[in-house]
Amino acid sequence: GDIAVFTQLLRVPKGDRSYITTDVLLALDGTDKPEELLYVITSPPQYGQIEYVNYPGILITSFSQMDVARQIVCYIHKAKAVVREDTFR
């Protein structure tokens, strides 16, 4: 079926981390099974990394919508300088 993906800007101070929440990233497919909606990072962020909160320092390449809903995924800003923008796909 159709999948709708909603995104918002996530602000992360230099050297800090911010949780990726459903306010920032939300995918819906009408099945009410968020654990089956999987995000696969095909182009990682340039100035930071995505990781699980409980495993700091370990880069992840995929996570589920349920992980986002449980607030266990975060973006870590790793650049030494202030960066205006970073993206991942």
Determine the pLDDT at residue 30. 86
Determine the pLDDT at residue 71. 97
Determine the pLDDT at residue 67. 97
Report CA 28 to chain centroid distance, whole Å.
Answer: 16
Please give the model's pTM, rounded to 2 decimal places: 0.90
Task: Name residues whose C-beta falls within 8 Å of residue 19's C-beta, 6 or more positions apart in sequence.
Answer: 53, 71, 73, 74
Least confident of 3-7, 26-30, 32-36, 47-51: 32-36
